[in-house]
């Protein structure tokens, strides 16, 4: 199945609902940017400053609010330097004890859609952003 590689934006985006996992992106909690960064082998290497994510987000395209033990957090967007990102986080209880985070970055939005999102997440993104203004 081919994927739609255009940027789609949700009509309603609440950055506050992703703030909980973002607070834990800090070496003192074991979630430094280097530790959560996942490589996209098909994509050119990206140099990401340690403070760039989540501090230099230019625009969000989609956010899914999460809930511990129930639903993952997702965010998709672009950083100030023109680097696209997809972030996901999950915890059963608290990020101090049993959390997990992944971050993919690329200069090409298409690489995020094709290689960072599994089918379930991609379908949720498309459903949440379909027929939304660009």
Extents of the domains making up the chain: 15-129
Q: Are the CB atoms for 112 and 104 separated by under 8 Å?
A: yes
pLDDT digit string, tens, across residues 61-110: 999 999 999 999 999 999 999 999 999 999 998 898 889 999 999 999 99
pLDDT tens digits, residue range 31-68?
A: 999 999 999 988 888 989 988 999 999 999 999 999 99
| Torsion sign over Cα 47, 51, 54, 58 | negative
**Dist CA 28 CA 116 (whole Å):** 26
Give the predicted TM-score (pTM) of the model.
0.93
> Encoding tokens for residue 60?
């969000």
pLDDT greater than 70 at residue 132: no
Pairing of strands 73-79, 99-106: unpaired
Cα separation, 89 vs 99, whole angstroms: 7
């Amino acid at each position: 199945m081919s994927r739609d590689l255009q940027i789609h934006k949700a009509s309603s985006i609440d950055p506050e609902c992703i703030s909980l996992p973002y607070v834990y992106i800090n070496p003192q909690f074991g979630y430094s940017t280097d530790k959560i960064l996942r490589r996209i082998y098909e994509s050119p290497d990206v140099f990401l400053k340690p403070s760039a994510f989540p501090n230099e987000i230019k625009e969000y395209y989609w956010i899914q609010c999460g809930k511990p033990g129930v639903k993952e957090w997702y965010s998709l967007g672009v950083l100030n330097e023109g680097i696209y990102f997809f972030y996901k986080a999950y915890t059963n209880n608290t990020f101090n004890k049993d959390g997990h985070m992944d971050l993919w970055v690329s200069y090409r939005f298409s690489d995020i859609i094709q290689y960072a999102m599994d089918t379930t997440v991609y379908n949720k993104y498309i459903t949440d952003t379909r027929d939304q203004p660009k």
